[in-house]
Amino acid sequence: MHPHSLLPRHSDAVAGASLERETLRRVWQFAQPYRTTIGIFLGAILVSALVAIVPPFVFRAILDSAIPDGDRALVWWLALVAVIAALAEAALAIVQRWGSARVGEGLIYDLRVALFNKVQRMPIAFFTRTQTGSLISRLNNDVIGAQSAVTSTLGTAVSNVVILLTTVTAMIALEWRLTLLSLVVLPAFIIPARRVGKRLQTIAAKQMDLNAQMNTQMQERFNVSGALLVKLFGRHRDEVEAFSGRAAGVRDSGVLAAMYGRVFFVALGLVGALGAVAVYGIGAQLVVSGDITAGTLVALAALVSRVYMPLTALSNARVELLTSFVSFDRVFEVLDAPTSIVDRAGAYDLVQPRGRIDIDHVTFRYPPAAEVSIASLEAPGAPTGDPDHDVLSDITLTIESGETVAIVGPSGSGKSTLAALIPRLYDVTSGSIRLDGNDLRDLTIDSIHAAIGVVSQDPHLFHESIESNLRYARPDATHDDIVAACQGARIHDTIAALPDGYRTVVGERGYRFSGGEKQRLAIARLLLKNPVVMILDEATSHLDNESESLVQAALDEAMRGRTSVVIAHRLSTITNADRIVVVENGQIVEQGKHHDLMARDGAYARQVRAGGLFAST
């Protein structure tokens, strides 16, 4: 073997220790608000450990003093002391439970809120790459696993350290030789714990990954769209088989972890039992020879179990703590994820927006995965390399305040990408986009989103009432405001005819409503928001003629007096635009009014005559 072949292992151990110390430091940052409660908790542990060594000394006094002297009064007094000690220990146990619950539930709350806040601030690119089930698993399973490390494992470790120290001190005071004998087996507790801990840490990480995969499958298959897809393609058995495989992996990992833990615990119990036998045997010999009293041996016998119990628990606690580090690492991985779309230092609010948009020599390519995503939350085999081409190349376009501009072009030409840059869902790779002369990167994100409203091809509705969905745009809106917006969106009569009216629950993603009705609800929501700029991304592409006419009437109402950017395939949607911009291969190839572009007989006219991209039905 090469003499330096062991160096990488040593380096890994040093790196692992460093990572664990860093994790502990960050855990303490989250625990600091609860330091008073933690102090009470630790104080209760210390007092409880001191109270717990009282009974063995009571037993010793009864055997060595009260019984030989026939002192019945002393027996009753000693019994009373034992009862008081038991009551005090019970009360202190309740205080400990209160402290651990306060800290534990507080940590769960803080970690979940921190994770939710972090995820809400992630760029839209993060959500396009992330498996939702895996992300939810971080907010649920991993947060609880991390919390148990602090309240259960760490609390148990501190408690057992205190018990061990107080018990060993008491034993030394009684008989130092037997105390040393009981500690000879200490290495047999420590060495296995190091090996088993690392193995269980690996198993725990695998278990969490498999659980996340199960959550992802359930999340995607249990919503209406996923369930419909499974049924239409007849893939029920395949889905069950895939889920069964993942569930089997979780089961097998759980069995393996349980067996490792049980064998480890049984082995430590056996070692402790052998140590106790040695103490009993040699202690009995000392009693026979008169070196110690029978009361001292009984007290030592009671205390020695309190030595091996915390030793076993501490060895196990180290294993559990290492396993819990996996949960903390997975939580911190999300908290440390890059957030690329943020307010820069000195960002200011857009005041009284007018709606002029200047797109100045903009080039855009999608950001690499390392900048916007977390590899462990992506689907297995997801590409992680940088995009190799520009989606938009040197785009320059000015949209005046109140102007309606239709952006058209074949699929994949960059229309929707261009629309996504205007509300700063992505940052441009080069060039700039200005709103009323202000670079979007200089404005606060909240003020940008307040000024811009979007109606997409498939608008999202939460599984709540119609009124709650509409009020999402403006929480302080009155019922009259909501009715007025719905009248403008041509959807009020439909809602009023429902048995529960505006209190009707829309169903998962709005599946109780037709496509046209959802579009009009989305337009009503936009009217409540009252933005100065409106982006319509394929808003009528999948509607029948009757629904389209209603939606178009609602859109005409919504666009009145607003800067509007319309992305559409339907000729009927774009012919009335003030200007049509044709995009191909990420570049603007021509622009103008409908009749001018048709007369020019360029790309736009060819596409219209082909009857494909801009068909009216």
pLDDT at 15: 40
Mean pLDDT of the chain: 80
How would residue 304 be classed by pLDDT, with cut points 50, 70 and 90?
confident
How would residue 346 be classed by pLDDT, with cut points 50, 70 and 90?
very high
Q: Above 50 in pLDDT, residue 37?
A: yes
pLDDT at 5: 33
- Residue 444: name the closest of 370, 353, 372 by CA: 353
Long-range contact set of residues 13-17: C-beta below 8 Å, sequence gap at least 24: none
Is 3 inside a domain boundary? no
- Residue 498: name the closest of 484, 481, 485, 486 by CA: 486
pLDDT at 1: 39
8 Å CB contact between 34 and 102 = yes
- If asked whether residues 396 and 293 sit together in one domain, one would say no
Q: In this predicted model, what pLDDT tens digit does every residue of 119-174 receive, in sequence order?
A: 888 888 888 888 777 788 788 878 877 777 666 666 777 778 888 888 888 888 88
How would residue 21 be classed by pLDDT, with cut points 50, 70 and 90?
confident
- 24 φ, ψ to 5°? -60, -40
Is 567 inside a domain boundary? yes
pLDDT at 9: 35
pLDDT at 533: 94
**Residue 587 is encoded by which pair of tokens?**
């570049």
pLDDT at 542: 52
8 Å CB contact between 27 and 110 = no
Better-scored residue on pLDDT, 300 or 486: 486
- If asked whether residues 32 and 126 sit together in one domain, one would say yes
Is 32 inside a domain boundary? yes
Is 139 inside a domain boundary? yes
* 312 exposure class (CB count in 10 Å sphere: 0-12, 13-18, 19+): buried
Is 600 inside a domain boundary? yes
395 Cβ contact list (under 8 Å, min separation 6) = 359, 361, 362, 363, 418, 431, 586, 587, 588
**Domains in the chain: how many in total?**
2
**Residue 195 is encoded by which pair of tokens?**
């090996």
Is 7 inside a domain boundary? no
How would residue 411 be classed by pLDDT, with cut points 50, 70 and 90?
confident
| Cα 132 from Cα 378, distance rounded (Å) | 9
Residue 380 CB neighbours (<10 A): 7
Q: Above 60 in pLDDT, residue 88?
A: yes
- If asked whether residues 205 and 152 sit together in one domain, one would say yes
- Residue 267 structural domain: 16-335
Q: In this predicted model, what pLDDT tens digit does every residue of 489-535 receive, in sequence order?
A: 888 988 999 888 999 988 765 667 877 888 888 888 888 888 999 99
- Residue 261: name the closest of 185, 317, 213 by CA: 317
Q: Above 90 in pLDDT, residue 362?
A: yes
| Range of 308-312, 318-322, 410-414 with top mean pLDDT | 410-414
- If asked whether residues 302 and 404 sit together in one domain, one would say no
Is 6 inside a domain boundary? no
Q: In this predicted model, what pLDDT tens digit does every residue of 446-487 receive, in sequence order?
A: 899 999 988 887 788 888 899 988 998 888 999 999 999 998
Mean pLDDT of 436-454: 93
- If asked whether residues 394 and 295 sit together in one domain, one would say no
- If asked whether residues 426 and 506 sit together in one domain, one would say yes
Mean pLDDT of 272-281: 74
Q: DSSP character for 313?
A: H
Q: In this predicted model, what pLDDT tens digit does every residue of 172-222 receive, in sequence order?
A: 888 888 777 777 766 666 666 666 666 776 777 777 777 777 777 776 676
CATH number at residue 499: 3.40.50.300
Q: Above 80 in pLDDT, residue 349?
A: yes
- If asked whether residues 91 and 124 sit together in one domain, one would say yes
CATH number at residue 236: 1.20.1560.10
pLDDT at 361: 95
- If asked whether residues 132 and 40 sit together in one domain, one would say yes
pLDDT at 380: 61
Q: In this predicted model, what pLDDT tens digit does every residue of 523-563 receive, in sequence order?
A: 888 888 889 999 988 765 555 565 667 777 777 777 888 99
Q: In this predicted model, what pLDDT tens digit does every residue of 554-613 receive, in sequence order?
A: 777 778 889 999 987 666 667 888 999 999 889 999 999 988 998 998 888 888 877 654
Q: Is the dihedral of CA 147, 153, 155, 157 positive or negative?
A: negative
- Residue 377: name the closest of 138, 23, 113, 115 by CA: 138
How would residue 12 be classed by pLDDT, with cut points 50, 70 and 90?
very low
pLDDT at 540: 59
- If asked whether residues 455 and 490 sit together in one domain, one would say yes
Nearest 10 degrees: CA dihedral of 299, 94, 145, 139? Answer: -170
- If asked whether residues 531 and 564 sit together in one domain, one would say yes
pLDDT at 244: 85
- If asked whether residues 230 and 104 sit together in one domain, one would say yes
How would residue 225 be classed by pLDDT, with cut points 50, 70 and 90?
low
- If asked whether residues 181 and 312 sit together in one domain, one would say yes
Is 343 inside a domain boundary? no
